[in-house]
Structure 1
Amino acid sequence: MLKWDKTGISNVDGELSLVAGLVLWATTFPRIRRKMFEVFFYTHHLYILFVFFFVLHVGISYASIMLPGFFLFIIDRYLRFLQSRSGVRSLFARVLPCQTVELNFFKCKGLSYNPTSIIFMNIPSISKLQWHPFTITSSSNLDSDKLSVVIKAEGSWSNKLYPLLSSPSPVERLDVSIEGPYGPASTDFLRHDMLVMVSGGSGITPFISIIRDLIHKGLTSKSKNIPQVLLISSFKTSTDLTILDLILPISGAPSQLSSFGLQIEAYVTREKHPMNQEKKKIQTVWFKPNPSDAPVAPILGQNSWLWLGAIISSSFSIYLIFIGILTRYYIYPIDHNTNKVFSLSSRAVLHMLFICVVIVITGTAAFVWNKNTNERETTQIQNIEGTTPMASPNSWYSNADRELESFPQQSLSQTINVHFGERPDLQRFLFERKESSIGVLVCGPKKMRHEVANICSSGLAANLHFESISFSW
C-alpha cells in the first residue's frame, strides 16, 4: 500500500527518486566510469526514473523551477534520437598498418563544423547499443563533400572494427549511424603567430582537423597572418608513423600546400633505430553504396538555430494551450481544486505526458521537413554535377584512388624529422621560440599534458598560451 499525505503526494516517490539519484552518483567515480564505462553509461539512463519520481514527489508546481532546462533537454535528446535512426553513406576506409583506420563518409555541402568537433558513431555489425565519440579529422571547408574520422584499435570495440577492414576480404558494405557533429562554437587559432601542437599516440587526431582548416584558410584567404605550425608527436613504434600520412587532405595541389608553414618532429620512443622493414602501404577499402543511406547532414538543416527556436517556442506554446484547456474544461469542473479526484501526482503525470507529446510532434515535423529538403537538394546537385559518389561512383573512386596513392606521402616527406629512441625536449622547443604569441595545444596522456602546462605556467616565457584538448570520459 502506498502512503499518501494530505496533498496526495506519495512518500514512496521521493524514496525511489533518491535511490535512482544515489545509483547515478555512485557510478560517477573515476574508477567505475573509466574502467567500466558501459556500466556508467547505461546506469545513467536511470535519470528518466529519477526525474519522473521527483516530479511525482514534489508536484508540477515545484518542478516548474527546473522546467526550462528539462524542456530543452528533452528536445535535444529527441532530435539526437531521430538523427541516430538514419544510416549514413560510407564511402571508403583507409587502413593503416599501425592498427588504425580512417573512415570517410559522404556529407552534404551545407554541413559546417569547427576543428576539434566530434561525432558519436554506432556500427550495428559490431554492437547495436554502443555509441563511441570520435574526433572529426576532416575540414568542412577543405573537404566539402566528405567527413572523416580516425580510429585506433585500442579497446574491445575498435579491436573488432579493424579486422573487419584489414582482412584479405574486407566487408563490402559498412552500416553506420551518426549523431552530431558537436563541437566548439568557434576556434580562433589565427590570433597566434605560431601554433605548437604536442601529441602522444592517437592524440594527434584533433590536430589533423586544425591543420586542414589552416590549410584552407591559407589557400583562400588573402591575409598573410596564417600561423606557422610545429607538430611534436610521440609514438611507441615506427609503424605508428604512418598515421602522419593522414594529415594532409586527399585533394589539393602540393605546390600550393608547400607554402603552408608546417614542421613535424616525430619521436619513436621504443625503437633506437629505423627498422629494416619494407614500409607497408595504406590499404584503401571501398564500400558499396546502400540506397537507403543518406549523406551526413545537419539535423535541422542549414538554418538550424531558426528551426530550433521554432520548435522550442511552438512546442511550449502548444503545451500551455493544451494543459490550459484540459484544466479549465475537464479537471476543474470535476475536482474544483480539492485534489480529491485529481491528485497532484496525477496532474504531474498529465503535464509530463503533454510535454513529451508536443515535443514529439513538433520535433518530428521539423526533422521530416528538413530531411525531405536535404534529399531534394542532394538530388539536384547529383543531376547538375553528375560525378558525385552516389551518381557515378566508379569515376569518383578511381580519381580518389590516384590521389590517395601519391599525394600525402610526397607532400609530407620534406616536413618530417624522425627521432628514434628518445623523447621530445618540450622545454627546449617551447622556450626557443621567439614569436610574440604562441598557442601551445596538447592532446595526449595526462603526464604529457601536465608537463606542458607546467612549462607554460612557469613564467619564464610570456609568449606561451596553453590549451589542453582532453578526451577523458
Structure 2
Amino acid sequence: MEELSGSAEHQYLLSSKDPAPPCSESIAAGRILVKWFLEMAMGLIFAAWVTFIFLFPAPLVTELYYEWRALTSDTIFGGNGSAFLIFSGPVLAITILAIARRIVMCSREEQFVLWKLKPAKYPRFRLSTFPVVADGPFGVVSAAELIGICLVVAYVVWAISAYTLEDLSEYSKSPLPPILKSATMLEFLASRIGIVGEFCLAFLFLPVARGSALLRLVDIPFDRAARYHVWLGHLTMLLFTLHGLLYVIAWAMQGTLLEEITSWQVSDTSNFAGVIGLSVGLLMWVTSLPPVRKMQFEVFFYTHQLYIVFVIFFAMHVGDYFFTFACGAIFLFLLDRFLRFCQSRRTVNVISATRLSCGIIKLVLSKPASLRYNALSSIFLQIRELSWLQWHPFSVASSPLDGKNHLSVLIKVSGEWTAKLDRNMLDNQETCDQNETTFLPPKITASVEGPYGHEFPYHLSYENLVLVAGGIGISPFFAILSDILHRVGEGKPCLTSNVLLVWAIKKSNELPLLSTLDMESICAFSPDKLNLDIVIYITQESAPSLEEGIIIESAESSHVFPVSNGCGISVLAGTGNNIWLGLYVMSSIAGFIVLMTLLEIFNLLSYTETKSRYRGLLFVVCMLASVIIFGGPAVFLWSCWEKRTSAVEKSEHCEQNVQTAPLMPSNLPQRESISSRRVLYCSRPNFQEIFGSVSDQWGHVDIGVIVCGPATLETSVAGECRSRNLKRGSDSPIFHFHSHSFVL
C-alpha cells in the first residue's frame, strides 16, 4: 500500500515543461529603460515625501504648508484633500508605479537578470549584508538597518525639540499663572508628540502588508519586514503613551482630569475615543513583548486582532484631517488584508502527508503553474481540523524547479498545534494497520496564504555559499540546494559553484530528514560545476546509538498518506498576477475617491458641518467600502480567471502524465554521490574554524552566508561575519550575512 501511494505521489510530482527562454535583447532593453524611468519617478516621489515629513516641524515649512492648504480650501475636497494628497498620496502613487514596473518587466525579469549574471571581479561590502550589531536589543542589525534606525531616531528627536523650542518661545512670556502656563505647555507638547507618533504610524502598517507591491519593489520578504513592524510598533506606542501621559498630567494640574477624560467632543478631537484607542494600543503593546509573546503566543495573536478597534477609535479621536496623515499605509494594509482573506477561503488540495520516523511531517500542497515563488519563500498554513483561527508560518522546502504544480513544507512536532497534527496522522496509521483492506486518509482541510519571499533568488548570485542551519531550520536550505542542483544539472543560469552546509542537531534521530532531498536523482555527479560539502554536528550524543547503516535512515520507513480535497493554492496574494493586482488597486483607489467626493458634496449641499469624530469614522468606512465594493468585483473576476486558467493547466498536466511514464527511484541508475558528508558527534560548530577554513580554501571572493535557526545561532554567525570583515586582509573574502529566521 505504501509503494502504491509513493508511486502516485512520484507521478504527480514530476516536473512540468521548462520555462520559456528569456525575452529578446531588444525587448528586454526597452523594458529596462521603462523600468529605469519608473524607478526614478518612485525614487523622487519617495525622497520628496520623506523630506517634507522630516522638515515639517520647521516653522518655514509649516507656514508654506498652511498657505498652500488655504489656497486649496475652496476646492471640493478642501483642506483635508490637500493633507491627503501630501501625506498619503505619495505612498499610493508609489504603489501604482511599482505595479506598473512589475507589469512592464513581466515574469521574465528574473530570467533575463540570471542570464546576465557574472561573478564580481573584486569582492565588495554591501550595507544590507554587513552585520554591525550581532547581539543587542534589536537582534542582528545590518549597516543599512542601523542607518535607518538612526534616521528615525534623529527625526523624532529633531521634531520634538523643534516643537518644544517653538512652544517655549511662544509661552515663556505669557501672563498666565505658573501652574496654568505649565499645564498649557504640557498640552501643546503632548499634541506635538501625538503628531510625531502619527507620522510613525504612517509607516507602521507598511511592513505587515505581506503581499504589498512596495515590499516586492524593495525586495524585502515579509519575515524580514515583520522586524521593522515590531521596531516601529515600540516607537509608535512609546510616543502615543507619552502623548496621553502628558495630557493626563496637564489635566490633573488644572483639576479637570475626570471631566476631560470622559468628554466625547472637545474642539476637533474626542478625548474619550482617544482613551479607548490608547488603552487598546497598550494592551496590544504589552502582549507583544517577548516574555508574553514567547510564553503565550495565542494571547499575543488574538489580542493583536484588536488593531481594528484601535484604528476606528484613533480615527474618531483625531478626526478626518489628522487621520489623513497616516491613512495611506492603513489603506494599503486593507487592500492586502482583503486579498489574503479571499485567498484563505479556498481549500487547498494536500497531495500527500508524510510522517517521517524522526517526528517530522512533510506536506505536499497543490498549486497552479501560474503561481510563482523563489527558494527561501514561506507560507501561512491553516488546518481546520486543528483550529479555525490559528495560522502558522512555514518555510517552503521545495524549489520552483521541482515541479510547477506543487510545493512542500516540513513541520516539526514541537508545540500543541503540531502535536495535534501528529496525533491525527498516527491515529490514521493505527486504523490502517488494523484494517489493511480499507485505507482511510487523514482528514486534513488546509488553507494557505502566500507564498511570500524575495522577488529575486539572491542565493544564485553568489559563487560561494555557506548555509548554517539549526534543527528544522534546514528546511529552507533544501529548497536552495534543490534549486542549485536543478540549475546545474539542466544547464540553467547559476553562479554557485561551492556550497558548505553546516547543520547542527541535538540527536541523530533527525538525520533521516536528509532523505527528503534526493540529490542524486536531481543532478548527476559533476564536481567541475558544483562542490557540495555537508557537515553535521550532533550536540547531545557522543557516538552513534546503533550500527552505522541505520543511522542515516531512508524515507522508506516513513508513512505516506495520500490526501485529496480542494484545489490548488490561490494566486490572489503573494506573487499574484500583476495586471489583475493593478486593476484591483486602481479600482479601490478610484472607489475611495468617488466615495469621498460624494461625502464632500453631501456636506456642501446640506450646509452643515459634520462633527470631526464622525467624519473620521466615515473616512474609515469609505476606505473599507472602496476595497470591498469597488475592489471586490476585480477580485471576483480575478478569481474566475484563475479558476479557468487552472482548469486548462490541470487538463494539460493530466495529458502529460498519461503520455509520460514516471521513472521510479528503484529504476534510477546508480550514481556517485554529488556531496561529501561528515557527521561529528558530541560537537558544536566552531565558526571561527569553519570560516577560517573556507577563507583559506576559497580566497578573495564574495561569500554568501545564510542562517536559519535559533537566535543564539544567528548571533554567533553574525558576530563571526562581522569580525572577519573588519579584520580582513587584502586577499581575504567578504562574508555577506543573510538571516532566514522567521519570528513573529
TM-score range, shorter chain: 0.7 to 0.9
Q: Residue 367 of structure 2 corresponds to which residue in structure 1?
A: 107
SS at match of 1:141: helix
Matched, 1:56 2:316: yes
Q: Give 1:189's aligned residue.
A: 459
Change (3 A) 1:382 1:444: closer
Query: How far off its partner does 1:142 sit?
Result: 3.0
Q: Is the 8 A contact 1:382 1:388 kept in 2?
A: no
**Alignment-derived partner of residue 243 in structure 1:** 513
**1:304 pairs with 2:572:** no
Letter in 1 for 2:577: S
1:429 has 2:684 as partner: no
Amino acid corresponding to residue 438 of structure 1 in structure 2: I
- Supply the AA of the counterpart residue of 2:537: Y
Q: CA 1:353–1:221 in 2, change beyond 3 Å: closer, same or farther?
A: same
Which residue matches 1:357?
625
CA 1:359 to 1:222, structure 2 compared with 1: closer, same or farther past 3 Å?
closer
Shift, 1:6, TM fit: 5.5
Query: Is the aligned partner of 1:276 residue 2:546?
Result: yes
Match among 582, 604, 615 for residue 347 of structure 1 = 615
Q: Take 2:418 and 2:684, find their aligned partners in 1: how far apart are those partners?
A: 27
Structure 2: distance between partners of 1:321 and 1:84: 29
* Larger deviation, residues 369-378 vs 141-150: 369-378
Asked if residue 74 in structure 1 is aligned to residue 334 in structure 2, the reply is yes
Structure 2 counterpart of 1:469, one-letter code: H
Counterpart for residue 78 of structure 2: none
Query: What is the correspondence of 1:141-156 to structure 2 with a 5 Å cutoff?
Result: 141-156=401-416
Q: Tell me the residue number matched to 1:225.
A: 495
Aligned-partner Cα distance in 2 for 1:407–1:275 = 31
- The structure with more radius of gyration: 2
- In 2 relative to 1, CA 388–147 (structure 1 residues): closer, same or farther, beyond 3 Å? farther
Displacement of 1:250 in angstroms is 10
CA distance in 2, matches of 1:228, 1:183: 24
Match of 1:168 in 2: 430
Which amino acid letter does the alignment assign opposite residue 208 of structure 1? Answer: F
The partner residue of 2:472 within 202, 208, 231 is 202
Equivalent in the alignment of 1:447: 712
d(CA) in 1 for partners of 2:719 and 2:325?
43
CA distance in 1, matches of 2:353, 2:526: 26
- Which residue of structure 1 aligns with residue 561 of structure 2? 286
Bigger Cα displacement from structure 2, 156-165 vs 53-62? 156-165
Is 2:391 aligned against 1:118?
no
The 1-side partners of 2:488 and 2:351 are apart by 27
Q: Distance in 2 between matches of 1:46 and 1:145?
A: 37
Measured in 1, the distance between the counterparts of 2:576 and 2:310 equals: 34
Deviation at 1:4, TM superposition (A): 4.1
Contact 2:525 2:671 (8 Å CA) reproduced: no
Shift of 1:136: 0.5
Task: Tell me if structure 1 keeps the 8 A contact 2:269–2:613.
Answer: yes
By how many angstroms is 1:248 displaced? 3.6
Q: What is the distance in 2 between the residues matched to 1:289 and 1:236?
A: 35
In structure 2, relative to structure 1, the CA distance for the partners of 1:326 and 1:192 (3 Å cut) is closer
The answer to whether 1:471 aligns with 2:733 is: no
Q: Which moved more, 1:428-437 or 1:221-230?
A: 221-230
In 2, Cα distance between equivalents of 1:217 and 1:38: 41
Secondary structure in 2 aligned to 1:65? coil
**CA displacement at 1:439 relative to structure 2:** 1.6
Q: 1:288, 1:203 → 2: CA distance?
A: 26
Q: CA deviation at 1:117?
A: 1.1
Select the residue among 645, 648, 658 that pairs with 1:380. Answer: 648
Q: TM-score, normalised by structure 2?
A: 0.57
1:331 maps to 2:592:
no
Is 2:296 the counterpart of 1:25? no
Give the conservation status (yes or no) of the 8 Å contact 2:468–2:503.
Answer: yes
What secondary structure, in the 3-state scheme, does the structure 2 residue paired with 1:266 have? strand
| Cα separation, 2, equivalents of 1:451 and 1:8 | 53
Q: CA deviation at 1:265?
A: 1.1
How far apart in 2 are the matches of 1:407 and 1:89?
29
Aligned-residue offset at 1:60: 0.8
Contact kept in structure 1, 2:411 and 2:418, CA below 8 Å: yes
> Which has the larger helix fraction?
2
Tell me the matched-pair count.
459
Instruction: Report deviation, 1:258.
Output: 10
Helix, strand or coil at the partner of 1:32: helix
Matched, 1:212 2:482: yes
The Cα shift of 1:372 comes to 1.8
For residues 171-227 of structure 1, give each alpha carbon's deviation from its aligned partner in whole angstroms, at most 9, with x where no partner exists.
434210000111122232233331111111111112111111212322344557333
Question: Please, which moves more after superposition, 136-145 or 306-315?
Answer: 306-315
Shift of 1:116: 1.3
Q: Determine which of 153, 158, 162 is the counterpart of 2:418.
A: 158
Q: Let me know the Cα RMSD of the aligned residues.
A: 3.0
Structure 2 CA distance, aligned partners of 1:356 and 1:75? 9
Could you tell which deviates more after superposition, 422-431 or 21-30?
Answer: 422-431
Q: What TM-score comes out, normalization by structure 1 length?
A: 0.88
1:86 aligned to 330, 339, 346, which one?
A: 346
Identity among equivalent positions (%) equals 31
CA contact (8 A) 1:136 1:206 kept: yes
CA contact (8 A) 1:439 1:466 kept: yes
1:406–1:468 CA distance, 2 compared to 1 (3 A): farther
Gaps of 5+ in 2: 1-258, 433-440
Any idea what SS the aligned residue of 1:386 has?
A: helix
Q: Which has the higher strand share?
A: 1
Is residue 2:408 matched to residue 1:133?
A: no
Structure 1 gap ranges (5+)? none
